Amino acid sequence: MGGCSFIVLCVSCRQGAQSTTRKLPTACNETKPAFTEAATPAAESRIMGKSASKQFAEEVLKAHNDYRKKHGVPPLKLCKKLNREAQQYSEALASTRILKHSPESSSGKCGENLAWASYDQSGSEVADRWYGEIKNYNFQSPGFSSGTGHFTAMVWKNTKKMGVGKAAASDGSTFVVARYEPAGNIVNPGHYEQNVLPPKK
């Protein structure tokens, strides 16, 4: 990864307003900050091969289920439809190099976690970063926060299936999309208490 890597995460909640749009720096330009409002040139997406995409999705799924087991919630299953949609959206993000949530996520049709890095990120690394937000989550005062929404989406008890997509821009940066059904991060009263359980001791 060297000394010039950037990472951006993006999360949304159902019935909330935490959708984020970011223009991203060129993959290895140390004169630019991690988040920049300056326009960056569009880059054509370099599509992952089918086998690599399947292997990556299975790696992300395994990490999700390992973490979900710690919280005593059922494992997720990969869904072909969600995989296809997540892959298509990751390719769209790579082509524009603007990190923003999909209309499907914003409307509550599905849950969605996004990740961008200036290098080729592994599936377990992406999942570890998302889950790492647990350190900021207050189980005594449960609810949505943009700083913990990736974690809560991962361990949401009522979510049954997921899809994963990954695409690389021509500069080598990578975009990862995870989609969840039924969607988590529902902000109505009681949902976090019922769906985001503390890890077992």
Exposure of 98 by Cβ count < 10 A (0-12 exposed, 13-18 middle, 19+ buried)? Answer: middle
Position 187 scores a pLDDT of 92
Higher pLDDT, 80 or 9: 80
HEC profile of 72-134 = CCCCCEECHHHHHHHHHHHHHHHHHCEECCCHHHHCCCCEEEEEEECCCCCHHHHHHHHHHHH
Q: Are 123 and 56 in contact (CB under 8 A)?
A: yes
Higher pLDDT, 13 or 41: 13
CA-based angle 26:31:32, to the nearest 5? 50
For residue 34, pLDDT beyond 80: no
Residue spans of the domains in the chain: they are 7-23+44-195
Closest CA to 148 of 140, 159, 161, 137: 137
Q: Are 195 and 139 in contact (CB under 8 A)?
A: no
Position 40 scores a pLDDT of 26
For 45-97, what is each residue's pLDDT tens digit?
Answer: 455 544 458 999 999 999 999 999 999 999 999 999 999 999 999 999 999 99
Homologous superfamily (CATH) of 7-23+44-195 is CAP (3.40.33.10)
Provide the β-strand partners of residue 8: 116
DSSP 136: G
Q: Quick check: pTM over 0.75?
A: yes
Bond before 182 cis per omega within 30 degrees: yes
